[in-house]
Structure 1
């Protein structure tokens, strides 16, 4: 894992004073994005580089907007789980211009959203971590994209036993959406760096 981290860190463009670099860490569910991101953040901080981190899953919408709609389950997951346009306007378009972001953050326990204010340093690496990051609405906002590629069977084995028991949800919701993303947005071809994990 260590050489993968160094490979990523060394590929990030040199950060100049007053500049922000946006790094996307993309990959499908359970591909190891969060673990890898933590290590990248740690490496950058050890080099005294300011890091601002956003997990795209913190900005999903309430359950009634993404479950039991009139759409197929895979469509709910891909198109309705996040308010894609709202995130484009309130997160992505402001990453390089604004000193602070006001984002509606989802709380799983209460199924509600609350406003969270994040200050962004003038000079920093901004990391966005999550699934489906290279959808066309968001793709042009990154300076660099890393894609974690991991076979479906390996990713599925990383789920808890309780989660694995509901395989229909994976077949109808997650895997169809993943296949759609891979086909329509070609994230492996579009990424600047593909890491096998």
Structure 2
């Protein structure tokens, strides 16, 4: 948060009834920490915020692992039910009073449906990877992209996770390269924040 001035967000929220902010970035770029700090800063300014973490809505393991597709494809295209999220989350953010979403529990590999009340005003923040994919990109009033080198992001992983470097190379990094090269999210973002 140190290198981001929230005054433009404050002005945006005051000029609209309900605003949608995307905090995009690759894995371990600091999105969750940034969003939590942003929430605290907005609260000090008297602005309500509701946060959606896109990783809360991933599909079951059997739908995204060992599917016969390459690992990077599974991560980018199969990790989420993109159309279902478009219909049940993104299309409802501006006008509806609530959304009903399936939250994923990684311990049980199951979902439970939750109803989330949307605020009448304030800022709705969507945080996660690949947010500027074609199916979702037109729903945001503003997009921030948290930019961080691959090495720095890898260094932030737990030591036991780093042991499986092959998974990063085949699954995560390949999908991230595809996203950057195909969708150009850094160029299309309203602001780039170096983390």
| TM-score strictly above 0.5 | yes
- Corresponding residue for residue 21 of structure 2: 23
Structure 2 gaps, min length 5 = none
Tell me the TM-score normalized by structure 1: 0.96
CA shift digits 1:46-99 (9 cap, x unpaired): 111111100000000000000000100000000000000000000000001110
SS in 1 for 2:178: helix
Q: Number of residues paired by the alignment?
A: 194
Structure 1: any 5+ residue segments left out of the alignment?
Answer: none
Tell me which residue corresponds to 1:56: 54
1:125 counterpart SS class: strand
Q: Which residue of 2 is the match for residue 121 of structure 1? A: 119
Cα–Cα, structure 1 residues 10 and 18, in superposed 2: closer, same or farther, change >3 Å? Answer: closer
Q: Once the two structures are superposed, what CA deviation does each residue of 1:92-142 show, in whole Å capped at 9, x if it has no partner?
A: 000011101100110111100110110011112000000000101100000
Counterpart CA distance in 2 for 1:93 and 1:14 is: 20
Contact 1:24–1:133 under 8 Å retained in 2: yes
Q: Is 1:158 paired with 2:152?
A: no
Match of residue 169 from structure 1: 167
Q: CA deviation at 1:10?
A: 1.5
Q: Is the 8 A contact 1:91 1:101 kept in 2?
A: yes
**TM-score for the superposition, normalised by structure 2:** 0.97
Judge conservation of contact 1:31–1:148 (CA < 8 Å) in 2.
Answer: yes
Matches within 5 A, 1:29-48: 29-48=27-46
Runs of 4+ in 1 over 6 A off after TM superposition: none
